[in-house]
Amino acid sequence: MPLSYHCVICKGSMPFDGPQAHRLDPCGLVVVGNADRDWRDQRDPTFWCHFECFRRLVGDDGVLYIKDADFATNGEAADEREAAGQ
């Protein structure tokens, strides 16, 4: 059975293709409980959501640069750091 995700915000399922799919879905929201404490005392579950649900929830005013086409993936950023000798 294929893996499926459900949005913690709207409770809907997330399509992986078709007109309803978003290129950033699924998004993982990591909530760090006890963020002011040592790592061993923190809790950090991951919740899944649609990018558009998250964008509406936080009242996106255009600063969610993750949606920009030139925002580097983790792999691209790592390659850039490696090329720069960092």
Render pLDDT for 15-64 as a digit per residue (tens, 0 to 9): 766 666 778 888 899 999 999 999 999 999 999 999 889 988 988 777 77
Q: Where are the domains of the chain?
A: 1-61
pTM over 0.75: no
**Long-range pairs for 45-51: beta carbons < 8 A, 24 or more residues apart:** 47/8, 48/5, 48/6, 48/7, 48/8, 48/14, 49/7, 49/8, 49/9, 49/10, 50/7, 50/9, 50/10, 50/12, 50/14, 50/22, 50/25, 50/26, 51/22, 51/24, 51/25, 51/27
